[in-house]
């Protein structure tokens, strides 16, 4: 009887993957640093406008679910996630766009003409300018410029129970922008999340420094065109 040949462990592919990941990370940090320097005058103006037009802090902070470094339990991709949030949690920074204390409760779906949003906050959301403070998250290693959007722990826990492949997006660092964000608007139902997940998984399969640059270059057109921003 002829025994089946064992496939060797692909050490070469792992060794090649690590430098590629490091290259993408270095690119994201470099872009974030340059963007932060260039956007600093605008961020100062935004901070002043927020402070002058509504009570409360300039920045809004919220816990989000980040990278999950653990391996899948099996080839089917069933992640060991029942003992924690599904990834390392971190504090994400945004410019405050709602009246003080109105953003504390988790909100699953985005609302058009949300009455909690301030006048300045409405403009920031339309042009995605409220995301600028997340450049700091990139510099400290919580996020990349490009990647799946990080979700709140409670919402993440709900979505992973409804969508089997949802935790797979935690295999990479979350991002400020991404393939899903430039192709789809804000989520308004679970089907929207499933559609966005297909874009996230497509990005994860073919991610590279070139793909990150392509998404970064496409993002300003989405911001200026207010596509998907409310």
In a domain, 86, yes or no: yes
Specify the pLDDT at position 4: 42
Specify the pLDDT at position 72: 55
In a domain, 161, yes or no: yes
Specify the pLDDT at position 6: 39
Domain of 186, in residue numbers: 25-224
In a domain, 2, yes or no: no
In a domain, 8, yes or no: no
User: Closest Cα to residue 125, out of 166, 99, 94?
Assistant: 94
In a domain, 19, yes or no: no
pTM of the model: 0.81
Q: Identify the residue whose tokens are 């909100």.
A: 107
List average pLDDT for each run of 10 residues in the chain, which is 230 residues long.
42 46 87 96 98 95 92 45 74 94 62 83 92 96 96 93 93 95 85 94 92 92 65
Specify the pLDDT at position 116: 87
The domain total for the chain is 1
């Amino acid at each position: 009887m002829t025994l089946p040949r064992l496939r060797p462990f692909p050490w070469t592919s792992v060794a090649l993957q690590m430098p590629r990941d490091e290259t993408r990370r270095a690119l994201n940090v470099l872009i974030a640093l340059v963007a932060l320097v260039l956007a600093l005058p605008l961020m100062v103006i935004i901070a002043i406008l927020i402070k002058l037009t509504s009570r409360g802090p300039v920045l809004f902070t919220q816990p989000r679910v980040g990278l999950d470094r653990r391996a899948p339990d099996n080839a089917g991709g069933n992640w060991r996630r029942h003992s924690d949030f599904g990834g390392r949690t971190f504090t994400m920074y945004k410019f405050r766009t709602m009246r003080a204390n109105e953003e504390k409760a988790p909100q699953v779906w985005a609302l058009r003409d949300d009455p909690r949003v301030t006048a300045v906050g409405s403009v920031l959301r339309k042009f995605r300018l409220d995301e600028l403070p997340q450049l700091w998250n990139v510099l400290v290693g919580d996020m990349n410029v490009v990647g799946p959007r990080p979700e709140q722990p409670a919402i993440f826990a709900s979505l992973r129970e409804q969508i089997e492949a949802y935790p797979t997006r935690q295999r990479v660092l979350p991002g400020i922008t991404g393939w899903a964000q430039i192709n789809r608007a804000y989520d308004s139902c679970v089907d929207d999340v499933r559609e966005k997940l297909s874009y996230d998984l497509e990005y994860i399969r073919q991610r590279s420094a070139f793909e990150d640059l392509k998404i970064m270059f496409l993002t300003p057109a989405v911001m200026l065109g207010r596509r998907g921003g409310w």
